[in-house]
Amino acid sequence: MKILHCPLNGPRNISEFVYGGQVKPMPNPESATDTEWAAYVFYENNSIGVVQEWWLHAPSSYWFIVERHNGSDTILRTYDPSELLSNPGMVSLEDAIQ
């Protein structure tokens, strides 16, 4: 069993987690074009390398960020999403983690 380190709960079996997709800035829903919104919803980068991903620890309903090398499947770091709030492009995340 793989072990993933949850920033809130500590090391847990990977079976307790759910993958939530790539971290990417959300365009403004009020002003984004259909093309921009479709790209946000449906397109993934899929390049090999270190990626930022949303993961959910299901028993505690806690969302956090994983930095993972998708070539070697090595987990480099896990952290609370509040760290991303300093990035102006991710400001809208604040509502998501309330």
Partner 1 sequence: MTVMLTSPIHSLPSTPIHGGLSLEDASLAARRGVRGRHAADHLRDQGLTVPPVPNQIVASGDDQWVMALSRREFWIINPQQLATAAMPDSTAIASEVWPLYCQHSHSWLILQGAQRADVAAKLCAVDLRSEAFPLGAVAQTQAARVSVIIAHHTNSQQQPVFSLFVDQAVSEYLWLTLQDAMGEFI
Residues forming contacts to partner 1 in the complex (CB under 8 A) are 1, 8-9, 12-13, 15-16, 57-60, 62, 98
Residues 6+ away with beta carbon under 8 Å from 58: 16, 17, 18
Task: Concatenate the DSSP letters of all residues of 32-88 into one string.
Answer: --HHHHHHHHH-----SSEEEEEEEEGGGTEEEEEEEETTTTEEEEEE-GGGGGGSG
Least Å from the CB of residue 98 to partner 1: 8
Which CB, 7 or 25, lies closer to partner 1? 7
Which CB, 20 or 25, lies closer to partner 1? 20
Least Å from the CB of residue 46 to partner 1: 31
Question: Which phi and psi angles does 41 have, rounded to 5°?
Answer: -80, -40
Least Å from the CB of residue 58 to partner 1: 6
Which CB, 12 or 68, lies closer to partner 1? 12
